[in-house]
Amino acid sequence: AREVIRPKADKETTSEELKPWLRTIYSTKAEIVTPTVIAGVTFSAKPAATPDPLEPWVSLNKDGSPKTIKPELKNGRTKNPHPEYSTYFQTASVRTFSYEELKAHNMDPNDVYEEEVFIDEDKTYVSLNPIIRCTPERYFMKGSANDISSQPFCTPRENTSWKVGKTYFVSWFTRFFEDEFSGEVVENVRVHLSYVKEKASEKGFHKR
Amino acid sequence: DIPATFFSSEWLKNVDGMYGIEIDGDWLQGQYERKIVVSVQPSNIPDEEFNPLENGVLLYMIQGSKVSKYSKEELALQDAGISNDKWYYVALSIPTMVIFALVCIYFFLHYNGKYRDFSDVTQAALGKRHRVLGEVSKMKKFRKMKNHKYSELPSYNEKSSKQ
């Protein structure tokens, strides 16, 4: 006979619990946000009261597995800072100004000045995603001759391996799915996984 | 019902630009690895027109290696006093059985020693079977054979110059 060892109960502090939080969107609309954890990455987490410029962000490995990046301050510069997306998620439009509006001294009174303006996207929901977003500059080349662009995918890369039991992120450039006629970005998408018949010569020969 | 497709997610918001997939072991269908293609279908393309194999990324889905290390679940069971030590009993029982069998054989031989008779295979018995042939000259078959001595063999002297 031996003494029964009771399993230790998981210690969980209140700060670790993911509780829903309230935010106001579009100036007046109240919304309850419920954080979710996928593969150790917390989505829709409540932002800190004081934003930290060195707050960790999540990058993706070639196979699509998440990797946390911690920005560092070195010699007055930030190493591994949060990713910038240039104008990939902005909408370009042309704004015209007449002479009466500008009163520029070097402008002809009958002339019209055109300026290209980039309108930022609605970041209401995008800002809650801590994972790096897919942009065309992060596309890779695929195919046997490495001559086909992977668009719209950034991850996973071709010929990588997905192991059973692990979670991987498929990421794509959202603006790739634009309607040809209206120019609007498609609202919904669906991810498919399909079997591919392997050639006898290919079987068991890929890099493990 | 797209051909060859074994997983289709629900409709997602495109603005998210990503989707997390946990790989299920059943998808391998008993194989170690399967080649698959990942594709994204926008809502403006109907199922009938969408071919997942056309614009996708090819990759492999593998079983993965097993690390012989205690998992969290196993450690939790050990903490609870539950351990799967079958292998330990098997590993111990095999040499124990061998030693027991050897001891049994020893006592069996020891107590049955007086009933054992190996006289027919002893050295004396084998010696009786040994036959000495003796000298060749005394053998019946070769007794009449005349065997001349070497000195009696004809010899030739050197010829003189007169001859």
Contact A162, B25 (CB under 8 A): no
Buried b (16+ CB within 10 A) or exposed e, A128-158: bbbbbbbbeebbbebeeeeeeebebbbbbbb
Instruction: Identify the residue with better confidence: A27 or B103.
Output: B103
Q: Which residues pair with A169 in a beta bridge?
A: B20
- Closest by Cα among A168, A73, A42 to B61: A168
A152: which 2 tokens?
């719209």
What the block records as the tokens of B120 is 């027919």
Question: Which pLDDT tens digits describe chain A residue by residue (208 residues)?
Answer: 667 766 666 655 555 667 888 888 888 888 888 888 888 888 888 888 888 888 889 999 999 999 999 999 998 888 998 888 888 888 888 888 888 888 888 888 888 888 888 888 887 877 888 899 999 999 998 888 888 888 889 989 988 999 998 999 999 998 898 877 777 888 999 999 999 887 776 666 665 5
Per-residue pLDDT for B160 more than 70? Answer: no
Confidence label for B152 from pLDDT (cuts 50, 70 and 90):
low
- The answer to whether the Cβ–Cβ distance between A190 and B12 falls below 8 Å is yes
A38-42, B82-86, B91-95: lowest mean pLDDT where? B82-86
Tell me the per-residue pLDDT of B17-37, one tens digit each, with 9 for 90 and over. 899 999 998 999 888 888 999
User: For residue B1, what pLDDT is reported?
Assistant: 42
Between A and B, how many residue pairs show a Cβ–Cβ distance under 8 A? 199
Mean pLDDT for chain B overall: 83
Distance from CA of A179 to the nearest CA of B (A): 8
B contact test, residue of A4, A150, A155, A193 with most B CBs within 10 A: A193
A121 to A82, A90, A185, B20, B122: CA distances (angstroms): 18, 6, 12, 23, 106
SS3 content of chain B, % helix, strand, coil (to 5): 35, 15, 50
Q: Using alpha carbons, select from A205, A158, A192 the residue that is nearest to residue B33.
A: A205
Q: Which B residues 59-78 touch A at CB under 8 Å? A: 59-64, 76
Chain B nearest CA to A157, separation (Å)? 7
Q: Which two tokens stand for residue B38?
A: 């990942």
Number of residues that this document lists for chain B:
163
Write down the ipTM of this complex.
0.78
